[in-house]
Amino acid sequence: MLFSFSLFHKTTLGISLESSNTYIARHGKGIVLGEPSVVATDIYNEKVVAIGDKAKKMIGRAPETISVDRPISGGIISDFDKTVAMLCQYVSRVVQTRIGITSAIVVPAAASSVERRSMRDMAKAAYGSRVVPVDEPIAAALGCGLDVFSGRGHIIVDIGGGRTDISVVANGGVMLARSLSECSGTFDRDIINFVRKNYNILIGDGTAEDVKKQLGCASDVKNMELMTLNGRHLISGLPENFVLSSEDVHQAIASSVRAIVDGIMTVLGKIPPEIASDLIRSKIHLVGGGALMKGWTELIYKETGMEAVVEENPLEATAVGAMRAVPMAKKLRNYENSTLGN
């Protein structure tokens, strides 16, 4: 299926709506917005009271009358109206007028035609412009500066907040794709569950995220680090301090890390021989927030024998790539088949 629309517009945007964060890139300016994909609403009148950073700070602290939600799950809309409200505000921050906007919005490679239409309808409702969906692996590859139209394949691993996508891109489309919804975003939940089980202490999402950033490591821990934390003891109900080590965190996230490595191995095992010979001389490109965790390149090389690289600004790659996709939209092909292994 080919994208087709003309480019007589003044403003070109690339939009990446992710479970954790939303990024917007603008032609000539690069990334112009990066905010949490969080919306806080009044449960009685459904009025939006906060969006983005302000809403995220309310997680676990909001009164009972306020609902704090993430309207995007795994790159797919889970609450249409809240997503519209969020994106409408975000776009209004980066453009002075909605007239003449051309935008490309990132969608998971395995998104159905209904899910793609929903993303397009949502964007039109938010800012009323022409919208084209761009497959996430294509956007990520373009954001990495790769030639997606060459016959030589590129492996993209996007470790996002709600989903990990492992894809092979070549000839203007996605050749293979495997989506792992059971890992990636579970790093934080892995840490929360580990602390609950081993310390009888409950910590919040924000604390788990801080632990992941400071102590998280995909490969074997070389330098032991410690972090003093506080949470609520499950038996006494009282606040309590405790110390968590980098080895604890490595143990907590081990199964999710293993699932990602196994996913990479599965995709490598299904690559056509013609492409496989090219990939031997290529690299595995890592993007997404999870790619910032230490140890990925060492672990992937150990398991696959292939060099891996964490791209510069991995959080922003898909939004930048979506923006770059606009002028070449007629050449790009959607990947509408089911992912491997599903």
Domain locations in the chain?
11-144+317-331, 147-310
β-strand partners of 326: none
Chain Cα centroid distance, residue 219: 21
Q: How confident is the model at residue 340 (pLDDT cuts 50, 70, 90)?
A: very low
Q: List, for residues 1-57, the tens digit of each pLDDT value.
A: 444 444 444 789 999 999 899 999 999 999 999 999 999 999 999 999 999 999 999
The verdict on domain 147-310 having CATH code 3.40.190.10 is no
Q: Which residues contact 166 (CB under 8 A, 6 or more apart)?
A: 155, 156, 157, 158, 177, 178, 179, 180, 260, 263, 264, 266, 267
CATH of domain 11-144+317-331: 3.30.420.40
The model's pTM is 0.88
Residue reference for tokens 């039109």: 124
Q: What is the DSSP letter of 219?
A: S
Q: What are phi and psi of 49, to 5 degrees?
A: -110, -20
Give 116-119 contacts, CB < 8 A, sequence gap 24+: 116/334, 116/336, 118/76, 118/77, 118/80, 119/17, 119/76, 119/77
Return the exposure string of 48-80: e unless at least 16 CB atoms fall within 10 Å of the residue's CB, then b.
Answer: bbbbbeebbbbbeeeeeebebebbbbbbbbebe
Closest CA to 130 of 4, 319, 23, 31: 4
Residue 320 reports pLDDT greater than 60: yes
Residue range 240-284, pLDDT digits in tens: 999 999 999 999 999 999 999 999 999 999 988 878 877 777 899
Amino acid at 216: G
